[in-house]
Chain A
Amino acid sequence: MHGEMPGFFPGRPGGEHDEPLLDMLLERRPIPPGAPPEVHDLARMLAAAAGPAESGELAGETAAMAAFARRASPAGISPAVSRSARRRLSGWSARGRVPLAAAVTALTAGLGSTAAAYAGVLPTPIQQFAHETIAAPAPSGAHPSTTSAASPQPSAGRQSGAAERPWDHSAVPVLAPGQGQYGRPQGLDHGRKVGRTVPSCYPGHGLPQMSPTPSPAKTPSPQGSGPYKWTPPSPSPQATDCVVLPAHAQPRTARAVR
């Protein structure tokens, strides 16, 4: 009946005259004594709405106090700081643990596999793969003769002149069948198969150099008189004679050594 009446009081038009009273009600200021009783009634209603706590309205105090006790921090320490710190910690725990565990697992598996490869205990196909990729010993069941057809070439390209073109991969020499990894003689491999490996320059490594097995079909050998002829290690390695490979072309073990 009076819901949207222009006047505040029932039956009285001209609501613009009531606006000061309405503002008083909203600001909870004292109503003038001469104001209509309806205004006083409304003021009492609003006072009741803004009154003190009634039963049950403070039931959440225990939980709020518990939250306050948990979160209250000493003066000078902003909760925002601790919050961001917790966020960092939780973010680390959430984002960091799984990748870290995966990395540790992968590293462990990799190291274990590498160790097993160098121990020569892997199954033959895997051992062969490791032999070809990371210069691990060849599978024990193989004989050097099985790879003798693998185009033995002189180990040292110094005689072929390929060292003058150090970045030419086509000039990289290939080890002879009897030459093991790092230029070791086959005797150190206990008869395991030795495949193609790409030597690189290791100045001063002191390992004995082995002369290549003669292979007249492909490369002339200036020294090729016998299959296992030792050459004493050079006291001052001629680095300029080595074929310097770019990093991506060197064996992984070579990069690790360097």
Chain B
Amino acid sequence: MIGAAFGATLARAQDGDEAAFACIFRDVQPALLRYLGVIAPEAEDVAGDTWVQVVAGLAGFRGEERAFRAWLFTIARHRAADAGRSRTRRPAVPLEMSEEAQQPVSADTADLALEALSARAVVGLIASLPHDQAEIILLRVVAGLEANDVARMVGKTPGAVRVAAHRGLRRLAGLAERAGVTH
């Protein structure tokens, strides 16, 4: 998250400042790719389409950083739905996570695994959750959206979003223990 400087950065980007736009891109793109990697088979293509649409509407956007992220991820979700409406959106757990899961786990190796835990590995683990739980956790934690924004995006009540997120986290803790990345 850019934080307090987001307003000025956005204003410069809206004026055509490429450096300001690059700052926004670098801040959002990793989270966008990780989110799309769970909900869309063609994450990079969908991300590209998303940015094209964001660029097209950037000058007309008004709001703070949270609203900007909610807007961008809503676009991404729509583009992902367009791209992979009829496909299975359950990517496999990354190879390195699977190998780790097959090795004997001790406290030390678990700590090492946790220290070296990559974003890709964790997102792969989240992707193995039920789809709605995985999407909600990614939107809440990775994209940094509020529960109300997520509820609006996924068409649930904020309470249902909270329940699904809690269930997902509990399930994720169990998966992590089995994968040997926790104590």
Contacts and interface: CB of A to CB of B under 8 A. Distances in A.
Interface of A: 1-5, 8-10, 15, 18-19, 22-23, 25-28, 37-38, 41-42, 44-46, 48-54, 57-61, 63-65, 67-69, 71-75, 77-80, 83
B182 A38 contact: yes
Contacts of B105: none
Nearest to B20: A68
B52 interface: yes
B2 interface: no
Interface centre among A28, A41, A44, A52 (most CB of B within 10 A): A41
Contacts of A46: 122, 137, 141
Given A38-B183, A42-B172, A75-B15, 8 more contacts: A53-B29, A57-B30, A58-B25, A60-B44, A63-B51, A67-B51, A75-B14, A79-B60
B156 interface: no
Contacts of B13: 68
Contacts of B87: none
Dominant secondary structure of chain B at its interface with chain A: helix
A49 B142 contact: yes
Interface residues of B, number: 59
Contacts of A71: 52, 55-56
Nearest to A57: B30
Interface of B: 13-16, 18, 21-22, 25-26, 29-31, 33-34, 44, 47-48, 51-52, 55-60, 114, 117-123, 125-126, 137-138, 140-142, 144, 147, 162, 165-167, 169-178, 181-183
A54 B166 CA distance: 27
A1 B125 CA distance: 15
Contact of B114 (A26, A44, A49, A65): A44
B166 A22 contact: yes
A5 to B, nearest CB: 6
A84 B175 CA distance: 50
A28 B170 contact: no
